[in-house]
Amino acid sequence: NGTTEEVKKIVTTLNEAEVPSEDVVEVVVSPPFVFLTLVKSLLRSDFHVAAQNCWVRKGGAFTGEISAEMLVNLGIPWVIIGHSERRALLNESNEFVGDKVAYAVSQGVKAIACIGETLEQRESGSTMAVVAAQTKAIAEKVTNWENVVLAYEPVWAIGTGKVATPAQAQEVHCELRKWLNDNVNSEVAASTRIIYGGSVNGANCNELAAQPDVDGFLVGGASLK
């Protein structure tokens, strides 16, 4: 999304917003690659910038891809990896996403790693099996979880107007935390932020935020308003 004019307008809105201090809430905005430096140059210093994706390993002959090293060079501290749209439309596998997260983190870029199930998977009762497999692929490659944020995005709730109920979101977030506790360690389970994405907006965010295991949001369409 976006033109230079639209992006500048959103940044102005963000710059004027009243937001709690960084020790309360960390704000990260993720424009398309072509606007990264523009946004970084205009955005208030207490907000940070993320890329929407990056390449799986060191740069080279991979036309059209952007490497983690380039993000570091531009001073971009965050990257979103494995968004459901990339998994679905570009066939990024669990393993590929795990490799990407590990490589970005190894280069000093913090990763927002996305996981989530489709409507078909939820209706067949395999939600936890799906998100556990996606998380396992990341856990097998990542040694330091300090710079990883997990974003649970039920695919059936992205841009559809359907939102997971606060109870549904909490249930999955709680199970993910248990998974980290059992398969990584209790410290990682307690400290890793698990954020929710899927038709989050101003009307439903307070109720979702009240859930004990929902640590923040990955906001999609509503972020353009």
Which residue numbers are catalytic? 83, 153
**Tokens of residue 197, six digits:** 């994405």
List CB contacts of 180: < 8 A, sequence separation 6 or more: 135, 139, 188, 189, 192
Alpha helices (runs of H) in 66-142, residue ranges in sequence order:
68-74, 84-89, 94-106, 119-123, 127-139
Buried (b) or exposed (e) across 54-69, using 16+ Cβ within 10 A? bbbbeeeeeeeebbbb
d(CA 213, CA 194): 7
189-to-95, 147, 212, 222 alpha-carbon distances in Å: 21, 13, 13, 29
d(CA 177, CA 131): 12
174-to-28, 102, 128, 170, 196 alpha-carbon distances in Å: 24, 24, 11, 6, 12
List CB contacts of 101: < 8 A, sequence separation 6 or more: 81, 82, 111, 113, 138, 141, 142, 148
